[in-house]
Amino acid sequence: MIVIPAVDIRQGKCVRLSQGRADAQTVYSDDPAAMAAKWEGMGAARIHVVDLDGAFEKTPKNLDAIKKILETVKKPVQVGGGIRDLATMETYLDLGVSNIIIGTEAIRNPEMVKDACKRFPGKIIVGIDAKEGMVAVEGWTETTSVKAVDLARSFEDAGVAAVNFTDIHRDGMQTGPNIEQTRAFAQAISIPVVASGGVSTIKDIKSVKTLAEDGVVGVITGRALYVGTLDLAEAVSVAMEGVDPEYNPF
Protein backbone atom coordinates (compact mmCIF):
# COMPACT_ATOMS: atom_id res chain seq x y z
CA MET A 1 0.00 0.00 0.00
CA ILE A 2 1.29 3.47 -0.83
CA VAL A 3 0.87 6.65 1.19
CA ILE A 4 -0.06 9.69 -0.90
CA PRO A 5 0.39 13.14 0.64
CA ALA A 6 -2.16 15.78 -0.32
CA VAL A 7 -1.31 19.26 -1.52
CA ASP A 8 -4.55 21.25 -1.62
CA ILE A 9 -4.25 24.61 -3.36
CA ARG A 10 -6.42 27.65 -2.81
CA GLN A 11 -5.52 31.09 -4.14
CA GLY A 12 -2.03 29.79 -4.88
CA LYS A 13 -1.40 28.61 -1.31
CA CYS A 14 -1.21 25.20 0.29
CA VAL A 15 -4.21 24.82 2.60
CA ARG A 16 -6.42 22.26 4.29
CA LEU A 17 -10.16 22.45 4.79
CA SER A 18 -12.13 20.69 7.51
CA GLN A 19 -14.89 18.54 6.00
CA GLY A 20 -14.45 20.42 2.73
CA ARG A 21 -15.82 23.67 4.16
CA ALA A 22 -14.47 26.83 2.53
CA ASP A 23 -14.93 28.71 5.80
CA ALA A 24 -12.82 26.20 7.73
CA GLN A 25 -9.45 26.77 6.11
CA THR A 26 -5.92 26.64 7.47
CA VAL A 27 -3.00 27.92 5.37
CA TYR A 28 0.14 25.80 5.74
CA SER A 29 2.41 27.24 3.07
CA ASP A 30 2.64 29.98 0.48
CA ASP A 31 4.59 27.59 -1.74
CA PRO A 32 2.72 24.39 -2.73
CA ALA A 33 5.65 23.22 -4.87
CA ALA A 34 7.99 23.37 -1.87
CA MET A 35 5.53 21.25 0.13
CA ALA A 36 5.30 18.72 -2.68
CA ALA A 37 9.10 18.53 -2.81
CA LYS A 38 9.23 18.02 0.95
CA TRP A 39 6.84 15.07 0.76
CA GLU A 40 8.72 13.61 -2.19
CA GLY A 41 11.92 13.84 -0.19
CA MET A 42 10.30 11.88 2.64
CA GLY A 43 9.47 8.98 0.38
CA ALA A 44 6.10 9.74 -1.20
CA ALA A 45 5.45 7.54 -4.24
CA ARG A 46 3.16 10.16 -5.74
CA ILE A 47 1.59 13.52 -4.90
CA HIS A 48 -2.15 14.22 -4.69
CA VAL A 49 -2.97 17.77 -5.80
CA VAL A 50 -6.39 19.39 -5.54
CA ASP A 51 -7.31 22.73 -7.05
CA LEU A 52 -9.83 23.80 -4.41
CA ASP A 53 -10.74 27.00 -6.24
CA GLY A 54 -11.36 24.86 -9.29
CA ALA A 55 -13.63 22.54 -7.31
CA PHE A 56 -15.70 25.44 -6.01
CA GLU A 57 -15.74 27.48 -9.24
CA LYS A 58 -16.04 24.51 -11.63
CA THR A 59 -12.97 25.36 -13.71
CA PRO A 60 -9.20 25.15 -13.06
CA LYS A 61 -7.89 28.19 -11.17
CA ASN A 62 -4.40 27.27 -9.95
CA LEU A 63 -2.66 26.16 -13.12
CA ASP A 64 0.50 28.16 -12.42
CA ALA A 65 0.94 26.56 -9.00
CA ILE A 66 0.37 23.10 -10.45
CA LYS A 67 2.88 23.76 -13.24
CA LYS A 68 5.47 24.67 -10.62
CA ILE A 69 4.82 21.42 -8.74
CA LEU A 70 5.30 19.45 -11.94
CA GLU A 71 8.57 21.27 -12.58
CA THR A 72 9.76 20.64 -9.02
CA VAL A 73 9.03 16.97 -8.30
CA LYS A 74 9.87 13.82 -10.22
CA LYS A 75 7.29 11.48 -8.72
CA PRO A 76 3.87 11.10 -10.39
CA VAL A 77 1.38 13.89 -9.68
CA GLN A 78 -2.36 13.29 -9.75
CA VAL A 79 -4.65 16.31 -10.04
CA GLY A 80 -8.31 16.97 -9.34
CA GLY A 81 -10.62 19.94 -8.86
CA GLY A 82 -12.73 21.67 -11.49
CA ILE A 83 -11.96 19.22 -14.29
CA ARG A 84 -15.13 19.14 -16.37
CA ASP A 85 -14.09 18.37 -19.97
CA LEU A 86 -11.69 16.39 -22.13
CA ALA A 87 -9.79 19.49 -23.22
CA THR A 88 -8.84 20.31 -19.61
CA MET A 89 -7.74 16.72 -19.04
CA GLU A 90 -5.56 16.85 -22.13
CA THR A 91 -4.03 20.14 -21.01
CA TYR A 92 -3.04 18.66 -17.65
CA LEU A 93 -1.70 15.45 -19.19
CA ASP A 94 0.34 17.42 -21.73
CA LEU A 95 1.88 19.33 -18.82
CA GLY A 96 3.02 16.06 -17.28
CA VAL A 97 0.25 15.20 -14.83
CA SER A 98 0.20 11.45 -14.25
CA ASN A 99 -3.49 10.96 -13.47
CA ILE A 100 -6.65 13.03 -13.71
CA ILE A 101 -9.16 12.83 -10.86
CA ILE A 102 -12.77 13.33 -11.87
CA GLY A 103 -15.32 13.89 -9.14
CA THR A 104 -18.51 15.80 -9.89
CA GLU A 105 -18.55 14.89 -13.58
CA ALA A 106 -18.50 11.20 -12.68
CA ILE A 107 -22.11 11.58 -11.62
CA ARG A 108 -23.11 14.53 -13.82
CA ASN A 109 -21.61 13.19 -17.04
CA PRO A 110 -20.55 9.54 -16.69
CA GLU A 111 -20.34 9.00 -20.45
CA MET A 112 -17.66 11.68 -20.66
CA VAL A 113 -15.68 9.85 -17.99
CA LYS A 114 -15.95 6.62 -19.94
CA ASP A 115 -14.84 8.43 -23.10
CA ALA A 116 -11.89 9.87 -21.15
CA CYS A 117 -10.86 6.38 -20.04
CA LYS A 118 -10.75 5.29 -23.69
CA ARG A 119 -8.92 8.39 -24.84
CA PHE A 120 -6.44 8.44 -21.96
CA PRO A 121 -5.95 4.77 -20.95
CA GLY A 122 -4.81 4.25 -17.38
CA LYS A 123 -4.92 7.98 -16.63
CA ILE A 124 -8.38 8.48 -15.15
CA ILE A 125 -9.14 8.21 -11.44
CA VAL A 126 -12.71 8.65 -10.24
CA GLY A 127 -13.02 10.57 -7.01
CA ILE A 128 -16.04 9.52 -4.97
CA ASP A 129 -16.74 11.58 -1.88
CA ALA A 130 -19.35 10.13 0.44
CA LYS A 131 -21.49 11.64 3.15
CA GLU A 132 -23.27 8.91 5.09
CA GLY A 133 -22.79 6.63 2.10
CA MET A 134 -24.23 9.05 -0.45
CA VAL A 135 -22.22 10.83 -3.15
CA ALA A 136 -21.36 14.48 -2.51
CA VAL A 137 -20.43 16.79 -5.39
CA GLU A 138 -19.58 20.40 -6.27
CA GLY A 139 -16.70 20.65 -3.81
CA TRP A 140 -18.78 18.72 -1.26
CA THR A 141 -21.42 21.45 -1.17
CA GLU A 142 -24.19 19.19 -2.47
CA THR A 143 -25.19 15.67 -1.40
CA THR A 144 -26.94 13.55 -4.02
CA SER A 145 -29.34 10.62 -3.70
CA VAL A 146 -26.86 8.26 -5.35
CA LYS A 147 -25.07 5.65 -3.27
CA ALA A 148 -21.29 5.85 -3.48
CA VAL A 149 -20.93 2.15 -4.16
CA ASP A 150 -23.51 2.25 -6.96
CA LEU A 151 -21.60 5.04 -8.69
CA ALA A 152 -18.36 3.10 -8.42
CA ARG A 153 -19.97 -0.04 -9.84
CA SER A 154 -21.15 1.90 -12.89
CA PHE A 155 -17.50 2.30 -13.92
CA GLU A 156 -16.44 -1.31 -13.41
CA ASP A 157 -15.69 -1.98 -17.08
CA ALA A 158 -14.76 1.55 -18.14
CA GLY A 159 -11.00 1.30 -17.59
CA VAL A 160 -10.80 3.52 -14.50
CA ALA A 161 -7.33 3.30 -12.95
CA ALA A 162 -8.57 3.67 -9.37
CA VAL A 163 -11.28 5.15 -7.19
CA ASN A 164 -10.38 7.69 -4.53
CA PHE A 165 -12.92 7.12 -1.77
CA THR A 166 -13.31 9.89 0.78
CA ASP A 167 -15.48 9.91 3.87
CA ILE A 168 -16.31 13.61 4.15
CA HIS A 169 -17.19 13.43 7.84
CA ARG A 170 -13.65 12.25 8.56
CA ASP A 171 -11.72 14.46 6.13
CA GLY A 172 -9.48 16.98 7.83
CA MET A 173 -10.89 16.05 11.24
CA GLN A 174 -8.10 13.66 12.34
CA THR A 175 -10.67 11.33 13.90
CA GLY A 176 -9.40 8.19 12.22
CA PRO A 177 -10.52 6.72 8.90
CA ASN A 178 -13.84 4.91 8.55
CA ILE A 179 -12.35 1.44 8.22
CA GLU A 180 -15.56 -0.56 8.00
CA GLN A 181 -17.18 1.68 5.40
CA THR A 182 -14.00 1.72 3.34
CA ARG A 183 -13.73 -2.07 3.54
CA ALA A 184 -17.33 -2.53 2.43
CA PHE A 185 -16.82 -0.10 -0.44
CA ALA A 186 -13.62 -1.81 -1.64
CA GLN A 187 -15.12 -5.28 -1.38
CA ALA A 188 -18.10 -4.22 -3.49
CA ILE A 189 -16.02 -3.32 -6.57
CA SER A 190 -13.08 -4.72 -8.52
CA ILE A 191 -11.45 -1.32 -9.19
CA PRO A 192 -8.46 -0.51 -6.94
CA VAL A 193 -9.42 1.83 -4.10
CA VAL A 194 -7.43 4.63 -2.50
CA ALA A 195 -8.77 5.55 0.94
CA SER A 196 -8.98 9.11 2.19
CA GLY A 197 -10.31 11.06 5.14
CA GLY A 198 -9.52 11.05 8.84
CA VAL A 199 -5.96 9.70 8.87
CA SER A 200 -4.27 11.13 11.94
CA THR A 201 -1.53 8.83 13.26
CA ILE A 202 0.64 5.87 12.33
CA LYS A 203 -2.01 3.67 13.95
CA ASP A 204 -4.43 4.80 11.24
CA ILE A 205 -1.93 3.84 8.53
CA LYS A 206 -1.68 0.38 10.06
CA SER A 207 -5.47 0.13 10.17
CA VAL A 208 -5.86 1.07 6.52
CA LYS A 209 -3.11 -1.37 5.53
CA THR A 210 -5.31 -4.21 6.80
CA LEU A 211 -7.64 -3.36 3.91
CA ALA A 212 -5.03 -4.25 1.28
CA GLU A 213 -6.53 -7.70 0.87
CA ASP A 214 -9.88 -6.04 0.18
CA GLY A 215 -8.54 -3.99 -2.73
CA VAL A 216 -7.31 -0.82 -1.02
CA VAL A 217 -4.00 0.04 -2.69
CA GLY A 218 -3.25 3.40 -1.11
CA VAL A 219 -4.21 6.08 1.36
CA ILE A 220 -4.26 9.85 0.98
CA THR A 221 -3.35 11.97 3.97
CA GLY A 222 -3.09 15.71 4.40
CA ARG A 223 -3.71 17.58 7.63
CA ALA A 224 -1.96 15.00 9.81
CA LEU A 225 1.27 15.62 7.90
CA TYR A 226 0.96 19.37 8.17
CA VAL A 227 0.25 19.49 11.90
CA GLY A 228 2.83 16.81 12.66
CA THR A 229 0.75 13.99 14.13
CA LEU A 230 1.93 11.73 11.32
CA ASP A 231 5.50 11.41 10.03
CA LEU A 232 5.42 10.67 6.31
CA ALA A 233 8.69 8.75 6.23
CA GLU A 234 7.44 6.44 9.00
CA ALA A 235 4.06 6.08 7.32
CA VAL A 236 5.68 5.11 4.02
CA SER A 237 7.90 2.58 5.81
CA VAL A 238 4.94 0.97 7.58
CA ALA A 239 2.74 0.94 4.49
CA MET A 240 5.43 -0.63 2.31
CA GLU A 241 6.65 -3.20 4.84
CA GLY A 242 6.65 -6.58 3.14
CA VAL A 243 5.84 -4.99 -0.23
CA ASP A 244 8.04 -4.92 -3.33
CA PRO A 245 9.85 -1.53 -3.31
CA GLU A 246 8.86 -1.09 -6.97
CA TYR A 247 5.16 -1.58 -6.20
CA ASN A 248 3.02 0.89 -8.11
CA PRO A 249 -0.74 0.26 -8.15
CA PHE A 250 -1.21 2.74 -11.00
Active-site annotation, residues:
8, 129
Q: Calculate the dihedral angle through the C-alpha atoms of 18, 21, 24, 28, rounding to the nearest 10 degrees.
A: 60
**Contact, 216 vs 208, CB < 8 A?**
yes
Q: How many residues does the chain have?
A: 250
Distances (CA, A) of 81 to 42, 45, 181, 204, 247: 25, 21, 24, 26, 27
Strands 162-167 and 134-137 turn out to be: unpaired
Phi-psi region of 247 (alpha: psi -120 to 50; beta: other; left: phi over 0): beta
Q: CA–CA separation, 209 vs 217, rounded Å?
A: 8
* Chain Cα centroid distance, residue 78: 8
Nearest to 124 by CA among 160, 96, 175: 160
Longest Cα separation, the chain: 43
Q: CA–CA separation, 109 vs 124, rounded Å?
A: 14
